[in-house]
Amino acid sequence: MKIGLEIHVQLPTKSKMFCSCPTTEAPGPNTHVCPTCLGMPGSRPVLNRKVLEYGIMLAKLLGCRVNDTVWFSRKTYFYPDMSKSVQITQYDNPIGEGGVYYLNGKKPIRITRIHVEEDPGKTKRVGDLSSLVDYNRSGIPLAEIVTEPDISTPAEAREFLGQLIQDIRCVIDIPGDGERSIRCDCNISVGKERVEVKNVTGLKNVERALTYEVVRQTKVLKAGGKIDRETRRFDEERGVTISVRKKEFEADYGYIDEPDLGIYHIKEMAESIRIRESPQKMTARIAGQYGIDQKMAKQLVNTSVELAELFETVAGRHGTQNAVKWVAGPVSSNWKALETSGADVNGVMGIIDRFAAGEITDTECGIEIKCLMTGEDIESAKGAAGDLDKIVSDYLDQNPGIIDDYRKNEKAANKAIGFVMKNSGGSYSSAEVVEAVKRLIESRM
Amino acid sequence: MSMKSTLENLESVNSKYFMFHAKTSDTDPGDAKFLFSAKDNLTSKDMETCAGSRILEGYFPAFDATAIAKMREAGGKLIGKTNMDEFGFGTFSTNSGFEVPRNPYDLERACGGSSGGSACAAAVFEDHVSLGVSTGGSICCPASFCGVYGIAPTYGRVSRYGLIDYGNSLDKIGVLSARAGDLRKYINVIAGRDERDPTSCVQPELRNEGRRMRSVAVPREGVEGLSKDVESAFNAALDELRRMGIEVEMVDMPSLKYAMPAYYVLATSEASTNLARYVGMRYGHQDGDYSLKFDDFFSDVRSRYFGDEAKRRILLGTFTRMAGYSDRYYSKARQVRQVVIQDYKRVLKDHDAVLAPTMPFTAPRFDDISKMSALDNYKADYLTVPANIAGTPHMSVPCGYGSDGMPIGMQFVADHWDEDVLFTMAEEWDKEFEIRKPEVSA
Amino acid sequence: MDRETVERVARTAHIKLTEEEIQRYGDDLTEILTYFELLDEAPESDERGINPVEIADVLRDDEPRMDIDSDVLLRGMDTYEGYVRGPRLS
C-alpha cells in the first residue's frame, strides 16, 4: 500500500497573499474583500513578502532545496468560489523541492515539493439549491506540501501529520486549531491504480478516509475487480468516500506563467532566514549526540525545548551523567511547577555547579532543585524529603534485588514506587516518589 | 473647436462616427485644462466599462484605472469611453459587442483596431487626446488607418492597474492624437511606477532629452506584401527621412516571420485565462439560469454573451496551453518572443529605430472585411505584432495618403525604455509632413 | 482539429457550441494551427522570459489595508445577506 499526501497549511500573514485585505476574523460575509480578491476586471495581484519568507521557512524545515528563482503560474478552473476562475499558484520552480522528513526521527518520508498559492473563497449551499459565496477567504495564503507515496498505513499518515504540524508550529505561528483546520488531498493505491481523495479536513478524517479506501480497494481487488483511477471526496458524516471524477474527465488546468507578478530572486532572502530546529530533529540529535535513550530525549523535548536546551548545557559543563541525573530527573519532574511559580530556571545551574564541585550532597542537590522550582521552603522540604528518602531507602535495603532487576528493565522501579505511594499516605506526589525511587536506585547501582 | 463646442457636439458627432460606447452628458468643461477619451477597457468610476463585450454590460467599476486617474489629476476631463473590438480581439474594431466606429475619411471603411474608437476620436476632435491600449498593434494600426499619431510605450512604462486584461505579458497603454507633441506630453502624464501594478515598478526614468534619430533600419521582411499605395507612400517617406539627414539601411530580421504565430499563441493563451472570470457572477450580466448546475450555468452565460471572435480566441488559447499541446505552442511561443527580442537588440545596437509601414494596406471597406477568414485577419497584423511581442516602444506616424484618399502610416520601433527618440522623431516629422484633416460634419 | 478535440476544448473553456459552430470553429482552428506549424522551425531560446522586460522582486509589505468600502464593491452584485449569489454546486 502506498500513501502520498498534499497538505495545505494556512500561512499566518496579517494581509492576504496578493492584496492588502486583512486576514483576521471578518465582521460579515464579503467584508474583507477588494477588487483583487473579488477578481474584478482591471485588478491586479501584488505579492506579500511575508508569504515568500514563510514558504522558505517551511522549505528549510522539510529539508528542501530552495530554488534561487521562483515565479507563479495560473491554474485555470471553474468554480463559484474561485473569483477569477484562475488560482495563482506555483507550477514549475516552486519555492522548495526534494526534501525529506523523518517520521519518529527514523522513517524517511520524501517531500516532493512545497509551493505557495492562494485559497479560494467559501461556498455554502442554500435551500433553493443556488450557492452563496463568501470571498473573505479568497486570497488567503497557503503552503502546499507534497509528499512522495512513502507512507505505509492510514495510521502512519495521521502520525506523520501530527508530527509535521508540531514541527511547523515551532517555526511559524499556525492557528491553534491547526490540526482540525489542516486540509489534505490524499493519494492512495492498494493495487496499481492511484485514487485521490480530495480536500479532507483534519487529522482524524485523513485517517478515516484512508482507512475507508483501504477497505474499499481491497474488497474490489479481492473480488477480481479493477480500481479506477479517479478523484473521490470524503463524506465526514457517513465516513465514506464518494467518486466525483473519473480520470478521463479530469480538469485540464492549462498552466501558464503569471505575467502580472514577474519573477523573484530569493537566494539572498533564503540565506538570511534561519529557522529553529524542529522537535523531531532535536530529539533525534540529542539522543544521538549524548547517547541517551530516544524515549528520554523525546520526553525532554516534548516537555519543553527550553528543558532540552538546559540538558545540553549541563551535559556540556558536567557531563551527560549529571545531565541525565538532574535535568532528566528532578528538573524535568518539577517542570510544570516551574511554569506556575515563574522561578528562574538558570538558578538550577548554580545548584548543579555546587554539587559537581562537591559542595552539596546528592540529597541536598535534589531538594534544592525542587525548592527552587516549586518555591517550597527548603527546611521543611528537607524534613519531608528526608522522610521520603528514608522510606525508599528502607524498602531498597529490604529488597536489594530490585537494583539488579532495574538494570535489566526500568519497570522494576514500579514495585518500589507502588510500595512507597501506598505507605506514605499520599503525602508525596507521584512525581516526587518516582524521582526519589529512581535517584536512590541509581545511586546504589 | 473649443472644449465647450466639442462637448456640445459630442452626441451628434458620435451618432455619425460611433466612436464612443459611453460618453459624458456634460456640455460645460468647467475648469478642465484638456479633454480626453479612453478606450473602453480602462476602468472609469463614472462611466460604464465593458471592454467592447456584452458580457460586461452594466459594469460600473468602483475604481479608476491609474492612467485615467493620472489624466484627471493633470486637469483632464474624460469625455467618453471609446468603442473597440471585444476585449481587443481584432484589427478593425468590427468585433465590437456594441457599435462599430466609422473611418472619418470614409464612413464605409473601418478605423482599424482594436483601439478604433480612440483613433477615430483623435482624428475627429481637435484639442483632445485619446488613451488607447496595444496588445499586438491595437494603437498603431488604427492610428495609421485614421491618419493620426499613436504611440505604445515600453511594456511596463504605464501602470496597467484598471486595464481589463487581454494578454498580460503584452498589453500596453498609450496615446493617440492628431498632434505630434501630445505623445511626449501625455505619456509623461500617465507613465511611472504604481505599487498596484508590479510590472510598472522596474522602469527607469522616462527621458525627455530630445535625442534625435540618426539612422533607421528597414527590415526586408517588413516591406513584403505591401499594397501599391502603401509601398509608394513608404518609399516617399524614406526619401523624406534621408533629406532630413537620417541614414536609412536595409537589414534582415529573420525572426520576424515567427512573431505572428508566437503572438497569437501567447495572447490567446493568456486571454483564455483572463476571460475565465466572466461567468455571470459578480459583474456584468447576472441573469443566468439557476436551475442549471454551475458548469452548465457558466457555459450558458458565456456562450450567450461572448461574441464570435472572443469564442474563437478562447478556444484557440485553451487549446494552445492544454497539457500535451502546451510545449509545442505555448512554451515555444515564449521562446520565440526571446528570439525576436534578441533580433531587435542586435539591429538596435547600430540603429536608433526599426522602421516599416504600419499596415500593409489602407483602411479596408466593411464589406471586404466581412469576406476575410479568421486567419486572413491575423495575418494582417504581421507588421505590428513583432514590436508588441518584444515589448519595445513603437509609434505610428502619418506618412502619406493612398489613391483612395485613405491615410497611410509608418511605424518606428525603438529599444526598450527609449521613448524619447520616438517623441523627438514625431515632433520633427510634424514640421515636414502636413496631415490632411478629414472633413468632419455632425 | 478534429471534432472530438474541438468539443473537449470547448468543454474545458466552458463554451457551449452549436452543431454549426463546432464545424466552423473546427475549420478555422485547423487553418490557423496549420499556419502555426511555422513555430516548429523557429529557433529555440534558453531564457524563460515571463515578461518582455525583466520584472523582478516586486513585493509588498505585510500590512493590512482596505481602500474601497466593501458595500461599494458589492453594489452591482447579485447578493443575499452579504453573500454573492452563484449557481448550484450539484
Residue B68 cell numbers, joined: 485615467
Collect all residues with Cβ–Cβ distance below 8 Å to A398 and sequence separation of at least 6: none
**Cβ–Cβ of B314/C45 closer than 8 Å?**
no
Cross-strand partners of B357? B410
Q: Residue B181's closest CA among B433, B1, B430?
A: B430
**β-strand B407-413 against B394-401: which pairing, if any?**
antiparallel
Residue A25 has φ and ψ, to the nearest 5°, of: -55, 130
The answer to ipTM > 0.95 is yes
Rounded distance between C-alpha atoms, residue A347 and residue B199, angstroms:
57
Backbone Cα Rg of chain C: 22
Q: Residue A197's closest CA among A150, A251, A252, A240?
A: A240
* pLDDT at res. A176: 65
Mutation target to probe the B interface, by most B beta carbons within 10 A, among A15, A19, A43, A123 is A43
Sketch the domain layout of chain A as residue ranges.
2-272, 279-444
Nearest to C63 among A20, A81, A133 (CB): A20
Sketch the domain layout of chain B as residue ranges.
3-255+335-432
Searching chain B, which residue's CA lies closest to the CA of residue C83? B282
Catalytic sites of B, residue numbers: 39, 114, 138
Widest distance between CA atoms in chain A: 87
| Dihedral sign, Cα of residue B61, residue B66, residue B71, residue B75 | positive
B413 CA to centre of own chain: 15
How would you label B289-302 residue by residue, b for 16+ Cβ within 10 Å and e otherwise? eeeeebebbbbbbb
Check CB contact of B193 with chain C, cutoff 8 Å: no
Is residue A444 a contact partner of residue A395, using CB atoms and an 8 Å limit?
A: no
* A356 burial level (CB within 10 Å; 0-12, 13-18, 19+): middle
* pLDDT at res. C48: 85
Cβ contacts (< 8 Å) between B272 and chain A: which residues?
Answer: 76, 254
Q: Which chains touch A (3 or more CB pairs under 8 A)?
A: B, C
Is residue B165 a contact partner of residue B171, using CB atoms and an 8 Å limit?
A: yes
Map grid coordinates 541536598 to a residue. A364
Q: What is the pLDDT of residues A177-203, one digit of tens each?
A: 666 678 999 999 998 889 999 999 999
Rounded distance between C-alpha atoms, residue B294 and residue B299, angstroms:
8
3-state secondary structure labels for all residues of A49-111: HHHHHHHHHHHHHCCCEECCEEECEEEECCCCCCCCCEEEECCCCCCEEEEEEEECCCEEEEE
Nearest to B333 among C9, C39, C53 (CB): C39
Map grid coordinates 470553429 to a residue. C25
**Cβ–Cβ of A78/C63 closer than 8 Å?**
no
Rounded distance between C-alpha atoms, residue A168 and residue C25, angstroms:
51
Quick one: average pLDDT of B249-267?
98
Nearest to A259 among B195, B270, B322 (CB): B270
Searching chain B, which residue's CA lies closest to the CA of residue C84? B282
Nearest to A14 among C57, C64, C74 (CB): C64
Candidate CATH numbers 3.90.1510.10, 3.90.1300.10, 3.40.50.620, 1.10.8.60; the one for domain B3-255+335-432: 3.90.1300.10
* pLDDT at res. A370: 86
* B352 burial level (CB within 10 Å; 0-12, 13-18, 19+): buried
* pLDDT at res. A439: 84
Q: What is the pLDDT of residues C52-88, one digit of tens each?
A: 999 999 999 999 999 999 999 999 999 999 999 999 9
Cβ contacts (< 8 Å) between C88 and chain A: which residues?
Answer: 125, 129-131
Collect all residues with Cβ–Cβ distance below 8 Å to B267 and sequence separation of at least 6: B135, B136, B166, B167, B170, B313, B317
Where in B358-425 does DSSP place strands (E)?
A: 394-401, 407-413
Checking if the pLDDT of C15 tops 90, the result is yes
Give the closest-approach CA distance of C18 to chain B in angstroms: 10
Rounded distance between C-alpha atoms, residue B204 and residue B192, angstroms:
9
Rounded distance between C-alpha atoms, residue A229 and residue C28, angstroms:
35
Give the closest-approach CA distance of B128 to chain A in angstroms: 25
* Domains (range + CATH), chain C: 3-41 (1.10.20)
How many alpha carbons fall within 13 Å on the CB side of residue A197? 31
| Dihedral sign, Cα of residue A45, residue A46, residue A47, residue A50 | negative
Rounded distance between C-alpha atoms, residue B164 and residue B41, angstroms:
5
pLDDT along chain A (445 residues), means of 10: 96 97 96 98 98 96 95 96 97 96 90 98 82 96 97 97 89 73 91 92 95 96 91 93 76 94 97 86 88 90 89 92 90 86 84 91 86 84 78 85 85 85 77 84 82
Q: What is the pLDDT of residues A316-348, one digit of tens each?
A: 999 999 999 899 988 998 888 887 887 888 888
**β-strand A230-235 against C79-80: which pairing, if any?**
unpaired
Q: What is the pLDDT of residues B129-180, one digit of tens each?
A: 999 999 999 999 999 999 999 999 999 999 999 999 999 999 999 999 999 9
Rounded distance between C-alpha atoms, residue B405 and residue C77, angstroms:
49
How many residues can be counted in chain A? 445
Rounded distance between C-alpha atoms, residue C57 and residue A263, angstroms:
6
Residue A351 has φ and ψ, to the nearest 5°, of: -65, -45
How many residues can be counted in chain B? 442
Checking if the pLDDT of B320 tops 90, the result is yes
Give the closest-approach CA distance of A431 to chain C in angstroms: 47
Rounded distance between C-alpha atoms, residue A313 and residue A253, angstroms:
54
A407 CA to centre of own chain: 34
Rounded distance between C-alpha atoms, residue A163 and residue A278, angstroms:
10
Least confident of A422-431, B217-226, B280-289, C44-53: A422-431
**Cβ–Cβ of A28/C14 closer than 8 Å?**
no
Q: Which residues of A touch B (CB under 8 A)?
A: 35, 38-47, 74, 76, 78-80, 83-86, 128-131, 133, 252-262
Check CB contact of B263 with chain C, cutoff 8 Å: no
Cβ contacts (< 8 Å) between B156 and chain C: which residues?
Answer: 51, 53, 55
**Cβ–Cβ of B282/A40 closer than 8 Å?**
yes
Checking if the pLDDT of B106 tops 90, the result is yes
**Cβ–Cβ of B290/A129 closer than 8 Å?**
yes
Give the closest-approach CA distance of B408 to chain A in angstroms: 33
**Cβ–Cβ of B265/C36 closer than 8 Å?**
yes
Residue B88 cell numbers, joined: 481587443
Rounded distance between C-alpha atoms, residue C62 and residue A13, angstroms:
7
| Dihedral sign, Cα of residue B232, residue B238, residue B242, residue B247 | negative
Widest distance between CA atoms in chain B: 71
Is residue B157 a contact partner of residue B206, using CB atoms and an 8 Å limit?
A: yes
Rounded distance between C-alpha atoms, residue B364 and residue C1, angstroms:
30
Confidence (pTM): 0.87
